[in-house]
Amino acid sequence: MSKNIFFLALGAGLSTLGLWALAGVSLPHTFSAGGLIRASEVNANFAALNNALPGVAQTAASDTVAITDTTPAVASVTINVPGPGYVKVSATAQLNVEYTGTSSALFTFAVSNTADTIRPDQDKRISLPAGLPAWTYSYIVSSERVFPVDSAGSKTFYLIAEENSGVQGSVSKRTLTATFLTAMGTVQSP
């Protein structure tokens, strides 16, 4: 009787998780009617299922970080992925521009999988024209991108901020989120 309850609970649990999310998962052990089942084999199957489910990692910080040419990454997040798939990275931050009014200001933001490179097709630009009143202007900026990953392991992603005009700036209230996704549709890589 207890074996029947185990299989009923296992079936209900898998149904609750949604079998569509587990399509293509390779379990290390299979069982047949009347065969012995070892706890270590069941645990290994559950571990494989757990590793196949999408995961999320997030960092958040409220401190202020100056935007410099030598350290463009103002935030990073690391996620452990179970295998090939995609990681959706989303970032938000508050840009603070210490504007003097004498020249234009230009800042570039992006999420990246390298700590010092912004791809030209993924950047977000914030600009202020010359002649505005001197002030510290604040803007909420965001950036998001889907990155393919080809293997299991730790993957680190960055929020990069660059100053492009000689005007001082900083970022605060940064949030960077990475979500592992299995292939559910078509993803067009830039």
- The whole-number pLDDT of residue 188 equals 67
Give the residue-averaged pLDDT of 79-104: 90
Lowest mean per-residue pLDDT among 60-64, 81-85, 110-114, 135-139? 81-85
- Residue ranges of domains in the chain: 2-52, 56-181
Rounded to an integer, what distance in angstroms lies between the CA atom of residue 54 and that of residue 113? 19
- The whole-number pLDDT of residue 4 equals 60
Rounded to an integer, what distance in angstroms lies between the CA atom of residue 75 and that of residue 93? 10
**pLDDT(1) > 60:** no
- The whole-number pLDDT of residue 64 equals 94
Location of structure tokens 């999988």: 113
Lowest mean per-residue pLDDT among 11-20, 61-70, 131-140, 163-172? 11-20
From the CB of residue 176, how many other CB atoms can be counted at a distance below 10 Å?
23
Q: Tens digit of pLDDT for each residue in 98-155? A: 888 888 888 999 999 999 888 777 778 888 888 889 999 999 999 999 999 999 889 9
The H or E element that residue 15 is part of is: helix 2-17
CATH class name, domain 56-181: mainly beta
- The whole-number pLDDT of residue 7 equals 56
Query: Confidence class of residue 183 from pLDDT cuts 50, 70 and 90?
Result: low
Q: Tens digit of pLDDT for each residue in 3-51? A: 666 555 555 554 444 444 444 567 788 888 888 888 888 777 776 766 6
Query: Confidence class of residue 189 from pLDDT cuts 50, 70 and 90?
Result: low
Rounded to an integer, what distance in angstroms lies between the CA atom of residue 45 and that of residue 40? 9
- The whole-number pLDDT of residue 171 equals 94
Taking a C-beta distance cutoff of 8 angstroms, is the pair 103, 130 a contact? yes
Residues 6+ apart with CB under 8 A from 91: 75, 109, 111, 142, 143, 144, 159, 174, 175, 176, 177
Rounded to an integer, what distance in angstroms lies between the CA atom of residue 190 and that of residue 188? 6
